[in-house]
Amino acid sequence: MLKRSVQSVNRLRKTSQLNKLQNQLLCSLIVRSYQFNSNPTKSEFTVGGNISTHGTIPGLQISGSESYSERLRTTLLSPIIIVPHGEQWVVERFGRFCKTLDSGIHFLLPFLDTVSYKHTTKEIILEVNKQTAITKDNVQLSLDGVLYTRITDAYKASYEIEKPFVAIMNLAQTTMRSEIGKITLDNTFAERQHLNEKIVQGIEKIASGWGISIQRYEIRDIQVPTQIKQAMDLEAEAERKKRKTVLDSLAEKEAQENVAKGRKTAVELISEANMIEEQNIARGRAFAIKANAEAYAEAIERLAAAISNENGEKAVALKIAEQYIEQFGHLAKAGNTVIIPNNVNDISGQVTQAVTIFDQIFNKTKNQTPALSKEQALLRLKEISGVEEPTHVNVTEAPIKPSSKLN
């Protein structure tokens, strides 16, 4: 194809009546059309019979052979041009900036418009090579990282700086050294995210003027000298032992507190149970006393009602005499020491005394307190019981000798 182009130019020189300047302009247009259609990264053309080779078009090659920013000088022969998705092309007219083309189909002026730059709008990953930096406490570190960028303004990326991504990488390295020098070694590891944000802010201030946005920066690896690393390992081990000791003491303290709280709760529950038990017993006793009192009161009421009936007095007097004789008979059964009335031989006298007491109580309600003689008491008892004469109990008059030992 190159040979055909050269032959066509030679034929035009021989047959055309154009002057020398017109011939050179026409040859330049034909060669540039060949350059655009064959290989946009290399340019070979013939001017006046001589072949010139300019090599690869200047631009930053990243991640192999892929180019994110290319500088071209391509004159268009067709009025229709298609820009791929994710790219922006810069068009010049007569050597001056004309417009920026986004992805899609566009209409240009052939032979007048030139595609000068091609830029990608995708996010670009730049690997920052390993470099050394010195911390605030004079420890030398070796760091590398990854920078994520994106072209936001194709015009500035084309005309504000030459080789923008090389400048971005150098700026990232210097900014990282500057930020590392502001913090100590311990903070370098503890505040890595904060350090990344500081580096992004430092680069963004300058890169924004080049039409490039800094998305984020990540420190990939931090290496310290061997001696510092050994000291850090010992410090970390001591810190782990310290935390273990503290955790053990806290666990023991918590266990003792739990045991003490358990004992306290048990004592409170036991005391509360005892209190409830005593309250229940007291309520039971009060209820029993109340019930006994009510029963006793009811018995007294019934007894009073019975006494007020006919022959009630006789029945009460007879009951008193029977109980007196019965209880007197129990005195000889229990214990070694007994209390015997002075007139123990005179049973009739004892009965007379009991009947007299009853009559006094009974007659007190009638405001009468007559004293009964022995003969009157016997007659009274005879009337009550229907017996002519009370039975006499013979008791030996021998004195009671106290025993030597009381059981």
Residue 395 lies in a domain: no
Q: Is 70 exceeded by the pLDDT of residue 128?
A: yes
The pLDDT of 210-215, averaged and rounded, is 91
Residue 332 has what DSSP assignment? G
Residues 250-308 pLDDT 10s:
999 999 999 999 999 999 999 999 999 999 999 999 999 988 888 888 887 877 777 77
Pairing of strands 140-151, 212-223: antiparallel
| Rounded-to-integer distance, Cα 32 and Cα 24, Å | 12
Identify whether residues 195 and 246 lie together within a single domain: no
Domain final position from 309, 332, 351: 309
Domain range for residue 185? Answer: 124-224
Of 65-69, 115-119, 259-263, minimum mean pLDDT range: 65-69
pLDDT at 400: 43
Q: Which of 272, 289, 309 is the last residue of a domain?
A: 309
Co-location of 137 and 212 in the same domain: yes
Task: Say whether both 299 and 322 belong to one domain.
Answer: no
Same domain, 250 and 298: yes
Average pLDDT over all residues of the chain: 73
Pair 201, 136 in one domain? yes
Residue pair 220/145 in contact (Cβ under 8 Å)? The answer is yes
Q: Does one domain contain both 334 and 350?
A: yes
| Number of domains making up the chain | 4
pLDDT score recorded for residue 13: 55
Which CATH number is 188's domain given? Answer: 3.30.479.30
Whether residue 73 lies inside any domain: the answer is no
Q: Does residue 262 fall inside a structural domain? A: yes
pLDDT at 148 over 90: yes
Residue 154 and residue 211 in contact, taking contact as beta carbons nearer than 8 Å:
yes
Whether 398 is in a domain gets the answer no
Per the listing, tokens 């006499």 go with 392
Enumerate residues 6+ apart whose C-beta is below 8 A from 254.
Answer: none
Residues 6 and 29 in one domain: yes
Same domain, yes or no: 201 and 128: yes
Lowest mean pLDDT among 81-90, 201-210, 356-365: 356-365
Are 204 and 157 contacting, i.e. CB atoms less than 8 angstroms apart? no
Question: Quick one: tokens of 97?
Answer: 């900036």
> Does residue 109 sit within a domain?
no
Is residue 290 domain-shared with residue 353, that is, in the same domain?
no
Who has greater pLDDT, 233 or 272?
Answer: 272
- Predicted TM-score (pTM) of the model is 0.45
pLDDT of 256: 92
Q: Which of 278-292, 321-335, 393-407 has the lowest mean pLDDT?
A: 393-407
Long-range residue pairs from 133-136, CB within 8 A, at least 24 positions apart, any chain:
133/176, 133/177, 133/180, 133/181, 134/177, 134/180, 134/181, 135/180, 135/181, 135/183, 135/184, 135/185, 135/188, 136/181, 136/182, 136/183, 136/184
> Do 297 and 317 fall within a single domain?
no
Taking residue 384's Cβ as centre, other Cβ atoms within 10 Å add up to 20
> Do residues 299 and 274 share a domain?
yes
Q: Is residue 35 part of a domain?
A: yes
Q: Rounded to an integer, what distance in angstroms lies between the CA atom of residue 392 and that of residue 343?
A: 12
- The answer to whether residues 298 and 263 belong to one domain is yes
pLDDT score at 47: 29
In-domain check, residue 405? no
165, 198, 224 — which closes off a domain? 224
Q: With 90 as the cut, is the pLDDT of residue 341 above it? A: no
Distance between CA atoms of residues 231 and 402, nearest Å:
104
List, for residues 366-376, the tens digit of each pLDDT value.
Answer: 554 455 555 66
Residue 71: closest CA among 52, 54, 86: 54
